[in-house]
Structure 1
C-alpha cells in the first residue's frame, strides 16, 4: 500500500442509514494522489460496524476500520483516528454527512500548499446557515466568536496534532479543535460549497435537549476561556450571547413553554452574563421581552395578507349571469 498523501478521518456512531453515502462521497473524489479512509466506529448499537466492514471488504486498498468496544466519545474517537493516520494531511467527515464536490480534496490541498502559514483549510457547507461572511481566511477571533466552518469541510496539517490539550469530550469538540489549530496557524477558506450537513434526530447536536445543549455550549466556552488564559473573554462572551439568542427563537409547537423557559435560562445565567457582557445581556433580555409582541404582530400581518388575497380572489371571480 502506497504512503497516502491524505488520510480521511470518518467518525461514526449509529449511522447505518447514512454511512455508505458518506464513504462513497470520499471514494468517488477526483483525486489522483494516494489516500486512505479510516472509519472510527464508536461502539454503535445498530449495524454501522457491519456496513463499515462490508465497505472495507469492497475497497481494501483505501479503507481501514477501527472499532471501540465501548463508547469513548467523539473527541477520543477522533484522536484515535489521528494516531492511526499515516498521511501528512487529515480530512474530516462524520458518518452522517457527505461531500458533494468531486474535487474537494484536490482544491483544498492545492490551497493549503499555497499557504504554508495555514494550519487548516475550510469551505462552505450546504444545508447550514453561514454564521459569518465568507473570507479568504478566518482569524482566531472569528473562530471564537462564531462557528464559521463545519467539520465536513476541514483539511488539517497533521503536524499540528502531534500533541493536543485535554479538552472536555462534549458536542462542541470541533470548536475547541478549531481554537487550538487557529492559534497555531490561519484557517484559509476555499470559496466553494463542498459538503452537505445532514440534520436528523440521531445527530449529536439535534438529539440533545435544549438545556443540555446550552450546558455543553457553556462547557466549551469555559474550556477555551481557560485554555487561552482569559485573553479572549469578550469574543467568547459574544459567542455565548449569540447561542442564547438563536436558542430563544420560538418553535412551531410549545411556544409559550419555550418562552417561559427562556426567561428561566436567562435569569439563571444573569450573574455570569452581567459580569462578562452586561450590555449584551440587557439587549438579550429586551429582545426576549418584546418577543410576544413581535409574534402577535407577525400573526396580524399574516391574517391581513390572507384577507387581502381572499378579497382579491373574490373580486376577480366571474359574476354568474
Structure 2
C-alpha cells in the first residue's frame, strides 16, 4: 500500500460499511492495509452506530493510518442502504471503487493492483471481479469457491444487467456512480441494483489471477439468513425498481427478467392465490423472446397442478 502522505487523490476508494462486526472488522481493515500498490488508496468506512466494540477498533486503526482510513461515523443507526449509498458513496474520491464489507476480507495482497492494471488497459470494461471462498466466523473454509465453473468468465453487459452472480467483495469498478436513484432504497439486494446500473457502461472481467477473497457466513449476516422464496421475491422487487430507471435501450432485458421471475414464482408459492396473482401480474411485463416458450408452458403446468391439488 502506498501511504498517501501528501493527500493525493486516491486511485482506489475502498467502500466499506460495518455494523456490530467487532469480531471481524480488524481482519477486514488489515486486508486492505496489506495491499501492495504503486498508487494511493483510501478506505471509507461507514460505521453505523454499532453497539459492540467495532467503532473503538476503527478509531484505533484510524490513528495509525489517518492518510488512508476515512471513517463516516453515525450518531444513530441509519441502516445499511443509507449508510452505503447516501452517506459513503458520495465521499468516494477514487477513480475506481473496491467493495468490501466489515465482516469479509481479502486474501491477495496484489488484488487491487491487478484489477486496476486491467481496467486501465481495457476501457471497454466497467468492472473486474473474481471468486471468493465461504468461511465461518472462525475463518474455517466452508466452501472453496462461491462461483461455479461456468460463472468464471467475462460477462457481457446484458449478463451484468440481468444479475449474473458477481461476489460483491471481489468487485472493483470505475467510479461512474456518484449518486444512486432513490429506488435503490426500496430494494434489499442493493448490489444487484448497482451492478445493473454499472452494466450500462461496459463489460465485466473475471480476474482469474486474483486469489479468492473470503465471504463470511455468520449469525449476524442479513442476506444469508433469508430463505430462498423471500430472496426470489426480493429479486423481483429489485427488477421492478430497475425498470423505472434503466436506460430505455436496456428495458427489454429487465422486462424479460420480470416476466420470467414472476412465472418461476408460481411453482415456489404454497399459496394458490399468490400463484394466480404472480401469473396475472407477469403479463404486465409480457416478453416472448428466445427461450421463453418452455418457461411459459411450464408456468401453466405448475399453476394447473396447484389448482388440482387444492
TM-score exceeds 0.5: yes
Q: Does 1:162 align with 2:178?
A: yes
- Secondary structure of 1:65's counterpart equals strand
Q: Does 1:197 align with 2:211?
A: no
Look up the match of 1:94. Answer: 101
Look up the match of 2:140. Answer: none
> Bigger CA drift: 222-231 or 95-104?
222-231
In the aligned structure 2, how far is the partner of 1:200 from the partner of 1:284? 36
**Which residue of 98, 107, 112 corresponds with 1:105?**
112
> Bigger CA drift: 277-286 or 30-39?
277-286
Look up the match of 2:282. Answer: 273
Q: Which has the larger radius of gyration?
A: 1
Look up the match of 2:242. Answer: 224
Alignment of structure 1 residues 146-157 onto 2, 5 Å: 146-157=163-174
Q: Does 1:283 align with 2:298?
A: yes
In the aligned structure 2, how far is the partner of 1:126 from the partner of 1:238? 33
> Bigger CA drift: 26-35 or 174-183?
26-35
In the aligned structure 2, how far is the partner of 1:31 from the partner of 1:186? 24
Tell me the TM-score normalised to structure 1 length.
0.74
Look up the match of 2:258. Answer: 237
* C-alpha deviation, 1:148, in angstroms: 2.1
Q: Does 1:145 align with 2:166?
A: no
Q: Is the 8 A contact 1:131 1:146 kept in 2?
A: no
In the aligned structure 1, how far is the partner of 2:196 from the partner of 2:203? 10
Look up the match of 1:125. Answer: 132
Q: Does 1:116 align with 2:133?
A: no
In the aligned structure 1, how far is the partner of 2:65 from the partner of 2:129? 27
Tell me the TM-score normalised to structure 2 length.
0.76
- Secondary structure of 2:216's counterpart equals coil
**Which residue of 14, 23, 27 corresponds with 2:29?**
23
In the aligned structure 2, how far is the partner of 1:57 from the partner of 1:244? 51
Look up the match of 2:76. Answer: 70
In the aligned structure 2, how far is the partner of 1:57 from the partner of 1:163? 29
- Secondary structure of 1:24's counterpart equals helix
Q: 1:270 to 1:194 in 2, by over 3 A?
A: same
In the aligned structure 2, how far is the partner of 1:218 from the partner of 1:268? 14
Alignment of structure 1 residues 243-254 onto 2, 5 Å: 244=265
Q: 1:126 to 1:267 in 2, by over 3 A?
A: farther
Q: 1:105 to 1:207 in 2, by over 3 A?
A: same
Look up the match of 1:14. Answer: 20
Q: Is the 8 A contact 2:243 2:255 kept in 1?
A: no
Q: CA RMSD in A?
A: 3.1
Q: Is the 8 A contact 1:92 1:152 kept in 2?
A: yes
Look up the match of 2:225. Answer: 207
Q: Is the 8 A contact 1:7 1:89 kept in 2?
A: yes
Residues 75-127 of structure 1 show CA distances to partners (whole Å, capped at 9, x for unaligned) of 33223223222322211101111112221101000011111122222222223
Aligned length: 276
Q: 1:7 to 1:241 in 2, by over 3 A?
A: same
> Bigger CA drift: 10-19 or 68-77?
68-77
